Structure 1
Amino acid sequence: METLPYGSWPSPIDAALAAEHDGHPEYVGFVGDEAWWTEPRPTEGGRRTLVRRRADGREEPVLPAPWNVRTRVIEYGGHPWAGAVVDGRPLAVFVNFADQRLYRYELDGEPRPLTPVSLVGGGLRWAQPQLVTDRGEVWCVLEEFTGDGPTDVRRVLTAVPLDGSAAQDRDAVRELTDGRHRFVTGPRLSPDGRSAAWLAWDHPRMPWDGTELVVAGVADDGTLQRQRTVAGGPRESIAQVDWAADGSLLYASDRTGWWNLYRDGSPLCPREEEFAGPLWKLGQRWFAPLDGGLIAVVHGRGATALGILDPETGEIVDAAGPWTEFAPTLAVHGERVVAVGASPRSAYEVVELDARTGRARVIGAEHDDAVDPAHYPEPQIRTFTGPAGRDIHAHIYPPHNPGCVPPGDELPPYVVWAHGGPTSRAPLVLDLEIAYFTSRGIGVAEVNYGGSTGYGREYRGRLREQWGVVDVEDCAAVALALADEGTADRDRLAIRGGSAGGWTAAASLTSTDVYACGTIIYPILDLAGWGTGETHDFESQYLETLVGPLAEVPGRYAERSPTEHADRITAPFLLLQGLDDVICPPAQCERFLERMAGRRVPHAYIAFEGEGHGFRRAETMIRVLESELSLYAQVFGLNPRDIPTLELSK
């Protein structure tokens, strides 16, 4: 055991190791009896590949580089593939990221395009493919740009021929809906194939504000007829819809203030917990009906569990195992349920649950400790008191290293992490980026500030017209509480966040004196610019609820924007940006830095070619982590080992 100052502890978790383990399996499904899913490849340019688990238990990638299974629909993407066994052979369709075309793939051949390329704006994009083999089609969502602007776009449900006849002919794609709604999710077909159901919503709503559940009949010629809204509305968010084996309609609605499950309009298991979440990606699944009538569910309050719901009794039996968090992806086949779970001691892995026996096991992307798990952080789930006595949920990760202790009564530095979204939350799972800091003697506090999901509609509604206020206050309240109780060094507090979290970090530096420095990652910095054409269509009117109607409260947009108050920043900061980011574009950072010119505040700006919103390349993530650590070392007076020095300019 060595006695060393905080921030100088030697750690086997370096930036390369953390980058290698970034991302997790996603979008599970079945192809015949085989479970398939997508997996990240940070060291292969950040691409995602399809992976299959063969009958003999072997895992193998389905597609070699450079194929990248990822869609850009609504920019955040969605379910990018579908598969089935046809004539005894696996058949898959998938979206390739580079050209956004839909491809057909059989394991012994080359991918063949099914959709054409459009040179208009962002082109043609596809999501949530569903094989309708009896019609020889793929039913999916089409996002079609009609001009060069980010909001020149329409979205419809379509049927793409499986024979490739639309690969060069846009007119061969059969449109199933008329584009009356701005946003739609992929259609779910009833067991008899005679009905389809999907979700729809329009600006200025986000899907967690209010959506409509639309049902239509499927005619013999494959057209959708008698479209009607059967649930939902401007103030009711339906996050997912599906059909039970008996033909009843299942959906998750927050009409009671919590996303609960309903069958043909009747509640199945009314509880003050969530059975769904914010629909950031098309095709996210929190429940999946089994053939026998039971329903696999991802549910919880804060953390989530995987369970089997009996809709007749309302009882849930949760899967036994170490997992304390499940991602919003599920697939079922017979009595088999496949999900993606993680815990504070294990990263996300593919889990299979036998609904008959209740036995759960890892079947893919199995967690493997790259270092001694004694170096992993030991988190605490805590609730703090904020302004007006409101609760603030947080995960506290104290510095932890089995070989080191601090000298005397030294208090550790802490970094507050503000999650993105902001309508989202930080899950309590093993994250080697957090371990990178805690194992060196720097504490981390993840704050699920007011506005976060997982705690009911009232909690996430706290951010309504209060973005830049409640999130900033809640993060500061947690940081100061840690200092007041003697957990953290009051003079060595930092804040860090990406996307909406980058906004919170920047807003915190302009409106509080709590932090000695900050790390701001692909942020929103100028509300008026972002809300008037600088971002993508999906979030182009998000600020109408987060801040207020721009036409009515323009002063509020200026008052809260860090760009408008760059003169208030005195703390050093690190600004990180992807040059291909269309959600939070580089122009936001550039205007902010222009306002900082001549102010002699130490800072660094690093822009990455080829990176968009969310860094995916290993070399990028390595530089980000090492630069962030160097910032804290310089500001806090730390002495970390073997990292490059970040050059701070003034």
Structure 2
Amino acid sequence: MRLGDRIAEVSVDDAVRASVSYDQLRTGDDGLFWLETRPDAGGGTTVTRWRPGEGKRDVSPVGFDVASGVHAYGGGSFAVAEGTLWCVGGDGLYRSRRRDDQVELIVPGCFGDLTVGDGELLAVRESGQGDELVAVSLTAAPKVRTLVSSLGFLGAPRPGPGWLAWTAWSERAMPWDACELWVAFYSSRGQVGGAVRLAGGPEESAVEPRWGPDGALYFVSDRSGWWNPYRWDGHRVEAVAPIAGECAAEPWELGYASYGFLDDGRVVVAVQEGPRHRLVVIEADGIIRPVDLPYTSIKPYLAVRGTTVALIGSSPTVAPQVAIVDLADADPQVEVLARSEHAGLDGARVSTPTELRVRMASGREVLALVYPPTGAAADWQAPVIVRAHPGPTASCLLRLDWQAQFFTSRGFAVVDVDYLGSTGYGRVFRESLYGRWGLDDVDDCAAVAVHLLSAGRAVPGQVFIRGASAGGYTALHAVAQDGPFAAATAVSAIVDPDRWAQTVPRFQRAHAKRLRGGAGRVRAAAVQRPVLLIHGTADEVAVVEDVRELADELTSLGMAPEVLLLADVGHYVASSRRAGAALEAELAHYRSVMADAAND
């Protein structure tokens, strides 16, 4: 796609169609495979294969939505072995033989983190009683047996030479807070024995185990304050290389692969530093060599084969792409395999961000990405939309977001804030929001807004805040006090942390309990500005009843909010078939507030 030739409003349809999502990139027995989620096709997810000389094509059956609900957020929902696609649907584990384009239900239940071993498939199976690691034989009549059981959570079953590695964490913890790495003796079609904990504990998150070509077990631990790579050679654990950055993503989903091994044993790693990602190669002597790429955002799905690494990358001017990077030479060659672009946006100019750092009274800095109105002059002044990301452990990322461009092409500035609790700044920063949720995150977003007003960038009375999920809670509390915001949009919002801790899926209950204790429930009587509530009726993470109750309370107080309830839509509104309706409602909300202010 060529960018920068023309300025035009990004239509709702174009913004949605261009928001194709790529995930779970992995190598298979005859190519590269990944998931594609296409909002313009109803939000369904398919498995796509790419092979040299053939290009890409869908390989999952038409109309079958590949999706895992394990641990609420899924992950590792497919694997390919011996010409057969194994994948997770809404009600169990399926097998699809490509010759007949049909799916066969193998085992009912909730599965994820599918991994191919020696003649068998390993997976995590979740139930109301806890987790199991199971093995499924790759036979005409598959048999399932349990390898490990836990009342808590399990992940990352990774078979090695005579070993099995996996991760485990308590139902009282989140994997980014306290995650253990275990190994045990194991042979294909056998049972595990002699299990030993290698790393992790109450103050350490050890994630993403992977067996290296040298026979050692590699993993990522934040024992230094950053998620960095380590290796276990069968006798002791040692650091691979110290990096002042996050070498793993916050593990909301199973199946992440933030690093891999080139055929010469070098380790290739995606590193996050604040809002930026970069790719590095760790040489045999521990020297860290950066790889020059056109991407500033890299998803935690690296697929390494030979001298090449496949990745999902993007930048402020490059929409997400699936690409292969050849690392055989000092000058890496990049081949793009798939682009999440739309012909209607060809030649459209985009707004590119600048980094803004605002110092708080405590002395720490808050980083924000400021997207000016598309085509704005250097001295621009505009209405501003401050966005509080979800999580709240997520972060603002330097990648092309057509839904942000939808607003910048209409004269708004969009500002993403890495408030306290975000990932990309180390363990201490990530944990500092516990017990302060709804307070420090709100203060950080407000400080950025006040700075933009003081600098003459934001138009007084036209500064808005929006957030999704945990960010929706932030947005609602931001307008429940005096501050710079004229209105709020809350998408899939959490309203009452105490009630949420009871209704949230079991994976996230520990998170809810650690976060709460700050601002408490969003009280309708405290809300001082207009609110738009957007929520899916099928949301299982933040139930719609809480939002309905808040809307009723606001209405009874004479502050009736705008409400958009999306039938049969889950927690992820932006990737649903109703994403366009949500964008239109949000734009209308801001314009209505601006019009009312102009008429006063």
Quick one: percent identity of the two aligned structures?
Answer: 31
Q: Write the distance in 2 (CA, Å) between the matches of 1:275 and 1:21.
A: 29
Q: CA deviation at 1:593?
A: 1.6
Q: Report what 1:393 is aligned to.
A: 367
Q: CA deviation at 1:378?
A: 1.7
Deviations 1:451-484 (A, max 9, x none): 1000111221221211111100000000000100
One of 296, 306, 323 as aligned partner of 2:295: 323
Deviations 1:356-394 (A, max 9, x none): 125232332225464255521121012111231221011
Q: CA deviation at 1:299?
A: 0.8
Q: Which has the higher strand share?
A: 2
Q: Say yes or no: does 1:544 pair with 2:502.
A: no
Q: Which amino acid aligns with 1:628?
A: E
Q: Write the distance in 1 (CA, Å) between the matches of 2:325 and 2:520.
A: 47
Q: Report what 1:240 is aligned to.
A: 208
Structure 1 residues 128 and 618: alpha-carbon distance in aligned structure 2, compared to 1, 3 A threshold: closer
Q: Which amino acid aligns with 2:535?
A: Q
CA contact (8 A) 2:8 2:348 kept: no
CA contact (8 A) 2:297 2:313 kept: yes
Q: Say yes or no: does 1:511 pair with 2:508.
A: no
Q: Report what 1:43 is aligned to.
A: 40
Structure 1 residues 239 and 638: alpha-carbon distance in aligned structure 2, compared to 1, 3 A threshold: farther
Q: CA deviation at 1:614?
A: 0.3
Q: Say yes or no: does 1:471 pair with 2:441.
A: yes
Q: Say yes or no: does 1:54 pair with 2:54.
A: no
Q: CA deviation at 1:57?
A: 4.4
Q: Write the distance in 1 (CA, Å) between the matches of 2:577 and 2:462.
A: 28
Q: Say yes or no: does 1:609 pair with 2:567.
A: yes
Q: CA deviation at 1:114?
A: 4.8
Q: Report what 2:581 is aligned to.
A: 623
One of 254, 258, 271 as aligned partner of 1:299: 271
Q: Report what 1:163 is aligned to.
A: 139
Q: Which amino acid aligns with 2:334?
A: R
Structure 1 residues 359 and 306: alpha-carbon distance in aligned structure 2, compared to 1, 3 A threshold: same
- What SS does the corresponding residue of 1:261 show, helix, strand or coil? strand
Q: Report what 1:263 is aligned to.
A: 231
- What SS does the corresponding residue of 2:195 show, helix, strand or coil? strand
Q: Which amino acid aligns with 2:431?
A: G
Q: CA deviation at 1:174?
A: 0.2
Q: Report what 1:644 is aligned to.
A: none
- What SS does the corresponding residue of 1:25 show, helix, strand or coil? strand
Q: Report what 1:74 is aligned to.
A: 71
Q: Which amino acid aligns with 2:148?
A: T
- What SS does the corresponding residue of 2:141 show, helix, strand or coil? coil
One of 331, 347, 352 as aligned partner of 2:324: 352
- What SS does the corresponding residue of 1:293 show, helix, strand or coil? coil
One of 171, 184, 206 as aligned partner of 1:216: 184
Q: CA deviation at 1:247?
A: 1.0
- What SS does the corresponding residue of 2:394 show, helix, strand or coil? coil
Structure 1 residues 537 and 175: alpha-carbon distance in aligned structure 2, compared to 1, 3 A threshold: same
Structure 1 residues 44 and 164: alpha-carbon distance in aligned structure 2, compared to 1, 3 A threshold: farther
Q: Report what 2:175 is aligned to.
A: 207
Deviations 1:493-535 (A, max 9, x none): 100010001110011111333211110001100112111x211
Q: Report what 1:431 is aligned to.
A: 401
Q: CA deviation at 1:10?
A: 8.1
Deviations 1:25-83 (A, max 9, x none): 11111223411111112122211111111220411111243111111101111011111
Q: Write the distance in 2 (CA, Å) between the matches of 1:378 and 1:397.
A: 6
Deviations 1:230-270 (A, max 9, x none): 11101001121111111111111111111111112211111
CA contact (8 A) 2:74 2:112 kept: yes
Q: Report what 1:3 is aligned to.
A: none
One of 89, 96, 107 as aligned partner of 1:105: 96
Structure 1 residues 632 and 231: alpha-carbon distance in aligned structure 2, compared to 1, 3 A threshold: same
Q: CA deviation at 1:104?
A: 1.8
- What SS does the corresponding residue of 1:109 show, helix, strand or coil? coil
TM, length-normalised to structure 1: 0.86
Q: Say yes or no: does 1:365 pair with 2:333.
A: no
Please list every run of 5 or more consecutive structure 2 residues that lacks an aligned counterpart in the other structure.
1-5
Q: Write the distance in 1 (CA, Å) between the matches of 2:292 and 2:521.
A: 47
Q: Report what 1:551 is aligned to.
A: none
Q: Say yes or no: does 1:526 pair with 2:476.
A: no
CA contact (8 A) 2:94 2:107 kept: no
Q: Report what 1:154 is aligned to.
A: 130
Q: CA deviation at 1:616?
A: 5.7
Q: Write the distance in 2 (CA, Å) between the matches of 1:217 and 1:300.
A: 34
Q: How many residues align?
A: 585
Q: Write the distance in 1 (CA, Å) between the matches of 2:8 and 2:529.
A: 28
- What SS does the corresponding residue of 2:301 show, helix, strand or coil? strand
- What SS does the corresponding residue of 2:510 show, helix, strand or coil? coil
- What SS does the corresponding residue of 1:205 show, helix, strand or coil? coil
Q: Which amino acid aligns with 2:487?
A: C
Q: CA deviation at 1:12?
A: 3.5
Q: Write the distance in 2 (CA, Å) between the matches of 1:544 and 1:504.
A: 17
Q: Which amino acid aligns with 1:612?
A: G
One of 152, 168, 174 as aligned partner of 2:145: 174
Q: Report what 1:283 is aligned to.
A: 255
Q: Report what 2:110 is aligned to.
A: 125
Q: Report what 2:126 is aligned to.
A: 143
- What SS does the corresponding residue of 1:300 show, helix, strand or coil? strand
Q: Say yes or no: does 1:583 pair with 2:577.
A: no
One of 419, 423, 435 as aligned partner of 1:449: 419
Structure 1 residues 393 and 373: alpha-carbon distance in aligned structure 2, compared to 1, 3 A threshold: farther
Q: Write the distance in 1 (CA, Å) between the matches of 2:319 and 2:289.
A: 23
Structure 1 residues 616 and 48: alpha-carbon distance in aligned structure 2, compared to 1, 3 A threshold: farther
Q: Report what 1:333 is aligned to.
A: 305
Q: CA RMSD in A?
A: 2.1
Structure 1 residues 278 and 94: alpha-carbon distance in aligned structure 2, compared to 1, 3 A threshold: same
TM, length-normalised to structure 2: 0.93
- What SS does the corresponding residue of 1:637 show, helix, strand or coil? helix
Deviations 1:86-123 (A, max 9, x none): 3xxx2221112x33x22222221233435333xxxxxx
One of 451, 474, 482 as aligned partner of 2:452: 482
Q: Write the distance in 2 (CA, Å) between the matches of 1:530 and 1:165.
A: 42
Q: Write the distance in 2 (CA, Å) between the matches of 1:411 and 1:322.
A: 30
Structure 1 residues 185 and 128: alpha-carbon distance in aligned structure 2, compared to 1, 3 A threshold: same
Please list every run of 5 or more consecutive structure 1 residues that lacks an aligned counterpart in the other structure.
1-8, 118-123, 145-151, 167-171, 549-555, 640-650
- What SS does the corresponding residue of 1:539 show, helix, strand or coil? helix
Worse-superposed segment, 470-479 or 537-546: 537-546
Q: CA deviation at 1:305?
A: 1.1
Q: CA deviation at 1:540?
A: 1.2
Q: Say yes or no: does 1:116 pair with 2:107.
A: yes
Q: Which amino acid aligns with 1:471?
A: D
CA contact (8 A) 2:179 2:201 kept: yes
- What SS does the corresponding residue of 2:288 show, helix, strand or coil? strand
Q: Report what 2:520 is aligned to.
A: 560
CA contact (8 A) 2:95 2:106 kept: no
Q: Write the distance in 1 (CA, Å) between the matches of 2:362 and 2:332.
A: 46
CA contact (8 A) 1:114 1:163 kept: no
Structure 1 residues 584 and 267: alpha-carbon distance in aligned structure 2, compared to 1, 3 A threshold: same
CA contact (8 A) 1:480 1:490 kept: no
Q: Write the distance in 2 (CA, Å) between the matches of 1:410 and 1:447.
A: 20
Deviations 1:307-355 (A, max 9, x none): 2221x32223333231111001111222221111000001111121223
